[in-house]
Amino acid sequence: MEDIRDPSPDRREEDRHDDPFVDTAALAAELAEEHPADIAEALDEEEPEVASAVLASLSREQQVEVLDQSDFDLSSDLIEALPVEEAVRLVSAMSADRAADLFRWMEEPARSHLFARLPPETQAELNRLLSWPEHSAGGLMTTEFVTVPSTWTVGETLRHIRETERTRETIYAIYVLDPITHKLEQAVSLRRLITGESGQPILSVAPKHDPITCAPLMDREDVARLISKYDLLAVPVVDEHEHVLGIVTVDDMIDAIIEEGTEDAQKFGGMEALDEPYMEMGFVAMLKKRAGWLSILFLGEMLTANAMQHFEDELERAIVLTLFIPLIMSSGGNSGSQATSLIIRALALGEIKLKDWWRVALRELPSGLVLGSILAVLGVTRITVWQLAGFHDYGEHWVLVAATVGTALVAIVTFGSMTGSMLPFVLRRLGFDPASASAPFVATFVDVTGLVIYFSVALLILHGTLL
């Protein structure tokens, strides 16, 4: 019989959205053979009622696998829509870290009502995970990992893994504990384990160095650097007594870093970070995220008008200076934005620390002077060519005007580079996210100060002639 399903996923997606009456049974049958990540992506495109019906038509194992997908945006909505008994069964079968994320997203009173119906052991586990900040190692970790006492052999450990692997998020690292104190002694990779002899002690196949660990309050960016530096698939989270609280896996870390990068990009654009995908955020919520910073930047730009009013007499006497205001303002803002981008990224990657601020200043000062000089040469050349070619008459003192523009560009670009590079350090020192030193904020600040520098230079050079 001919398969009536369109082999193209894109075409299948278009047809489904064109049809206002979705056949949930047919859709469930179609998705049943897909990967859980693809099922989650497909359900995210449907209305919650349709997605709920399709999810209910899948097998119990598939339901749990779909809900365990970290990028399944409708997971909390679907859990809330299910009968309480069914929701309890699914949440209890989910991985602990994903269930904790689910309760972070759920709203009251559904959150408390469902939590109260969970088994006591599940409640205790979720309470432990939810007690840590969301963006910390404790907030990202899972409690489903493999531990064995240091007295075991390789064979006993492999047998234990075979018996418990379906209830563990990962088995690629086995954590060896002291049988009495339960302190972490070593972390053994599955690769090293399967190459050992069955009768060997588990510690005989462990690496010689101490295990790489992190504290539960370590920021997710620092955890990511740790995993990247030591090429780990998971890093154990330990308390002050070296007891293993959980592990942060590399897949959870990738999701967290993507989220962190998205937040930083949005902040750097001059707005608050979005709490949900762009297309799912309400109109009013979007306005709230954007209007605040936009208003602050607008008020900042109003200082530009104050600066121009202060130099109103000079502008009336040397109207030619106004021709270069956009050039001056944009050059300073651009240099500041460049420096800010470089420093924020370097701080995020751990390439520089707070104590390196003076080294950065020593690099940015000559960089600003050279970059400003390059722009000054271009600016002076432009004025000279336009004057001599007859494109525009800058007056009898055009050489002094060119000198004013050139000198101001050097000063403003240097000031912009220094300001843009130092502001992230100041914000980090005060406990703020350096990404808050957004390009629009730096540009606004340098615009205002740039005008003051420009007219101050003009007063020095053009005094006794145009001014």
SS3 string, the chain, reads CCCCCCCCHHHHHHHHHHCCCCCHHHHHHHHCCCCHHHHHHHHHCCCHHHHHHHHHHCCHHHHHHHHCCCCCCCHHHHHHHCCHHHHHHHHHHCCHHHHHHHHHHCCCCHHHHHHHHCCHHHHHHHHHHHCCCCCEHHHHCECCCEEEECCCEHHHHHHHHHHHHHHCCCCCEEEEECCCCCEEEEEEEHHHHHCCCCCCEHHHHCCCCCCCCECCCCEHHHHHHHHHHHCCCEEEEECCCCEEEEEEEHHHHHHHHHHHHHHHHHHHCCCCCCCCCHHHCCHHHHHHHHHHHHHHHHHHHHHHHHHHHHCHHHHHHCHHHHHHHHHHHHHHHHHHHHHHHHHHHHHHCCCCCHHHHHHHHHHHHHHHHHHHHHHHHHHHHHHHHHHHCCCCCCCCCHHHHHHHHHHHHHHHHHHHHHHHHHHHHHHHHCCCCHHHCCHHHHHHHHHHHHHHHHHHHHHHHHCCCCC
pLDDT of residue 13: 46
Distance CA 221, CA 432 (A): 15
Give the least confident one: 119-133, 183-197, 252-266, 323-337. 252-266
Higher pLDDT, 152 or 286: 152
- Is the pLDDT reported for residue 11 higher than 60? no
pLDDT of residue 262: 76
pLDDT band at 175 (very low <50, low <70, confident <90, very high): very high
pLDDT averaged over every residue in the chain: 85
pLDDT of residue 12: 43
98 Cβ contact list (under 8 Å, min separation 6): 67, 68, 70
Question: 184, 211 in Cβ contact below 8 A?
Answer: yes
CB burial string 65-95: b at 16+ within 10 A, e below? bbbbbbebebbbbbbbbbeeeebbebbebbb
Work out the percent of the chain whose per-residue pLDDT is above 70: 91
pLDDT band at 10 (very low <50, low <70, confident <90, very high): very low
pLDDT band at 2 (very low <50, low <70, confident <90, very high): very low
pLDDT band at 437 (very low <50, low <70, confident <90, very high): low
Average pLDDT over residues 249-268: 78
The pTM (predicted TM-score) of the whole model is 0.67
Taking the CA atoms of residue 265, residue 270, residue 273 and residue 278 in that order, the dihedral angle to the nearest 10 degrees is: -80
Question: 339, 364 in Cβ contact below 8 A?
Answer: yes
Distance CA 208, CA 187 (A): 10
pLDDT band at 418 (very low <50, low <70, confident <90, very high): very high
- Is the pLDDT reported for residue 260 higher than 70? yes
Residue (of 44, 93, 50, 45) closest to 72 by Cα position: 44
In tens, the pLDDT along 365-388 reads 999 999 999 999 999 999 999 999
pLDDT of residue 263: 74
pLDDT of residue 376: 95
Residue 409 CB: number of other CB atoms within 10 A?
30
Distance CA 332, CA 115 (A): 55
- Is the pLDDT reported for residue 14 higher than 50? no
Question: 292, 272 in Cβ contact below 8 A?
Answer: yes
Distance CA 150, CA 148 (A): 7
Give the least confident one: 81-85, 159-163, 246-250, 275-279. 275-279
Work out the percent of the chain whose per-residue pLDDT is above 90: 34
pLDDT band at 271 (very low <50, low <70, confident <90, very high): low
- Is the pLDDT reported for residue 323 higher than 70? yes
- What are the distances in angstroms from CA 127 to CA 37, 93, 99, 124, 132? 27, 16, 11, 5, 9
| Terminal-residue alpha carbon distance, the chain | 91
176 Cβ contact list (under 8 Å, min separation 6): 147, 148, 149, 150, 184, 185, 186, 187, 188, 202, 203, 206
Give the least confident one: 214-218, 295-299, 450-454. 295-299
Peptide bond into 109 cis (omega under 30): yes
Distance CA 295, CA 289 (A): 11
Taking the CA atoms of residue 36, residue 40, residue 45 and residue 46 in that order, the dihedral angle to the nearest 10 degrees is: 90
Residue 397 CB: number of other CB atoms within 10 A?
17
Q: 40: which 2 tokens?
A: 């989650």
Give the least confident one: 116-125, 185-194, 274-283. 274-283
pLDDT of residue 435: 73
- Is the pLDDT reported for residue 3 higher than 50? no
- Is the pLDDT reported for residue 8 higher than 70? no
pLDDT of residue 214: 95
Give the least confident one: 176-180, 295-299, 384-388. 295-299
Question: 425, 371 in Cβ contact below 8 A?
Answer: no
Average pLDDT over residues 77-85: 84
Distance CA 442, CA 452 (A): 16
Distance CA 244, CA 181 (A): 11
pLDDT of residue 298: 81
In tens, the pLDDT along 226-237 reads 998 899 989 999
